[in-house]
Structure 1
């Protein structure tokens, strides 16, 4: 059965798994119902439900040239101590500012493109909701960090709202002291609880003022303003933050915001404005890459030696596997990996876009100058990799009536291969569970991109929200537990057997939150959030219950126990 994805656009395509339709800064969500109490003790961490072979060997003709070796460790023998101790390897969870902070107009914060999008185009969000309140993390960050500590997290990945620091997007427009104070407080609270901050500068919530001023990331002028924003963050927070990522998932921002139109600023074939879905994703990506390189140069020239931190970028990718052993499908899998992963990895590692893309796109793909190539190549200390799912790639020649970036890829995403073998079980609306895919992707990166240092910055799975289910039933989260265990197992194999330089693992997400165009209809959280709904489906004042996750009986493997509950009243309203 063909996967309903952006590659074959129609009215049913809104649940594409390639796109992680609602991604963002928090984008993976595991739930607090999961026993993931990761301490530094020598404890059995995972009782994997997968076969003892771990990652299956790749079929002949795979896009990875070296096959993963058979699993040499029993699944129930993987312990925290089998990974290097902190800070050499870190376990934690991830979130994003717009998805959890709320307080959209509080204490001087300026509006972002996501505020404008959700407040003015509710029909584009599954439940017509916004991130105006979300988890109200802005006013409750201490409670949230307390949960992280109780869960045993060693690190926490979060993003900074650009318009909370610079309401107008520029230094000339003024710095917001309350915004700076908020992130200072979050960082200090994390460190006081022994949790390492891992900070993302841009997780899709660009200042609305810059979109109005010069069309945001469609204009190269944004590079200078992004550098100015980063400079403030390095000055204010860099003495305590040692792990920076410039941009989260530029692929999702460019394709979903400027080709499909599902995300802010909603330009594309299903967007508020049509724009030019055959050129704008490439222009936006070009400017994102230049902005990243400029910020890395700033950090290296003026801050890194003194602050002793590292800086990289977070890239998302599924792993494309050939639908059949035909040469056409092998090329299709390679083409898919080039158009998603290579679109960003190739410039940073090799200095230019993949040849596949240049051959297909011609003049529609912007060109780097020789000076820009020198600045871009090597502009990373590590790569963050977000992985959720894999896909079979089947060759799909162009029809001559192409409308989007996804048509340019010339592939059809398939959930089964030519033998009828499914890629995996469907979770939520778009995640096909394929744990060996994360290992295959890591091997592919090692072989094609010089084995860089890697953090798994997002990995998790979703469930469709079911208002009828009891809290007790919701907390029986077996599928999420199996998903996380099997993926962490494959990350372990990639490090131990395949010698991939993986340095950390972050679950998406700390808690259920605003999932971009999916609103609150899908859950990724390690912490389960009870949303209160009125009969008219408007959010009412009610309790948000956070279930800090379990302590595990490590002697018997994975056990679930009632966790401490934290209750608080919040307002959540549709606008």
Structure 2
């Protein structure tokens, strides 16, 4: 029996039964809200005596973009030029799927709040993927584009969860392409709010406006993505040190800015950093010794934890932090080629070996056990 371990349980992390896709196209149907409520009820009923921290859905914004815009993740729905799929519409379906996810989240909170929370005394929230978006210039257009980038990424989910409505930037740009919440749905969102927000964060981008000056193509450049082009460099200047993972750049200060942004936008709702970590690409010539001697991961964690501490000193109401991840594991499209773990896993024997980062992180925790007291001082 393990002691001293506090479970945080996620009800949905991208996957779901194929039957729901076959029967009514899963998240493209409001029927999914009912089935998700059923799942939540069963979990609360049978595990709520031991689980006091519930997460409804992990990274709905990331899941939707990959599954319904680019088609890289199941159910692989998309349309040109975003991807070459057999079925789907990248201009409309992401917003339908997100709408149903947001309402499914509210349904789960309603069930927990009305049937279980008083007795079980737990808390419940949602997790979003975040990135810091830095305007590529001081122009008003690029600053507005950076705000649009936030609204079309994390605020897309968080604004409805907290305020019962979509961000103004999305409403103004998308018009009728964006679903509307009925009065009953808005009441549900406002009546059953998250107890906390889970924040996954890894990287930052420069943002260039594509509304006033059209961009040819690129991540974020389309209308359905906010007309805000994501770039990893400004001329010869990178947003942060590049890594083996093509989307990850080391920018601790962007993490601090992101947390302060969320603090100010969402009235400093309690936050948990549910994912933050460094990915290491295992190349054919990479040795186990090199993977165990992960000084770059230590540098990354050290910088981001310092940024977290600074954000908390700024007043960000952060209640906990999870390094991603304890173990090397299966990283979606990367398979076993990218390792985020503090412990190395031999995927043939399943032997687990602590990396240098595991020892460093253990010492860091021991030295900062009273970090809130340090911040108060």
Q: Secondary structure at the match of 1:384?
A: strand
Give the Å deviation of 1:551: 4.2
1:152-551 alignment, distance < 5 Å: 189=1, 192-268=2-78, 269-377=82-190, 379-397=193-211, 407-408=222-223, 409-417=226-234, 420-427=236-243, 428-495=245-312, 497-531=313-347, 542-548=348-354, 550-551=358-359
Partner deviation per Cα, 1:127-161 (whole Å, 9 max, x = no partner): xxxxxxxxxxxxxxxxxxxxxxxxxxxxxxxxxxx
Q: Which runs of 5+ in 1 are unaligned?
A: 1-188, 532-541, 559-575
Greater relative CO, 1 or 2 (CA 8 Å, sep 6+):
1
Q: Secondary structure at the match of 1:318?
A: strand
Partner deviation per Cα, 1:254-287 (whole Å, 9 max, x = no partner): 1100000111111114254241000000000000
Q: What's the TM-score, normalizing by structure 1?
A: 0.59
Q: Secondary structure at the match of 1:325?
A: coil
2:375 matched residue in structure 1: none
**Alpha-carbon distance change, 401 to 414 in structure 1, aligned in 2, over 3 angstroms:** closer
**Alpha-carbon distance change, 554 to 386 in structure 1, aligned in 2, over 3 angstroms:** closer
Give the Å deviation of 1:426: 1.2
Q: Which runs of 5+ in 2 are unaligned?
A: 368-377
1:16 matched residue in structure 2: none
Distance in 1 separating the partners of 2:305 and 2:218: 38
Distance in 2 separating the partners of 1:347 and 1:405: 21
1:169 matched residue in structure 2: none
Distance in 2 separating the partners of 1:380 and 1:439: 22
Q: Contact between 1:396 and 1:411, CA under 8 Å: does it hold in 2?
A: yes
Give the Å deviation of 1:474: 1.6
**Alpha-carbon distance change, 302 to 521 in structure 1, aligned in 2, over 3 angstroms:** same
Q: Secondary structure at the match of 1:507?
A: coil
Give the Å deviation of 1:437: 1.0
The structure number with the bigger radius of gyration is 1
**Alpha-carbon distance change, 512 to 519 in structure 1, aligned in 2, over 3 angstroms:** same
**Alpha-carbon distance change, 323 to 399 in structure 1, aligned in 2, over 3 angstroms:** closer
Distance in 2 separating the partners of 1:490 and 1:482: 12
Q: What's the TM-score, normalizing by structure 2?
A: 0.89
RMSD of the TM alignment (CA)?
A: 2.2
Q: Contact between 2:218 and 2:229, CA under 8 Å: does it hold in 1?
A: no
Distance in 2 separating the partners of 1:438 and 1:403: 24
**Alpha-carbon distance change, 476 to 548 in structure 1, aligned in 2, over 3 angstroms:** closer
Partner deviation per Cα, 1:348-406 (whole Å, 9 max, x = no partner): 22220011101111111000011111211352000000000011100113869999976
Structure with the larger helix share: 2
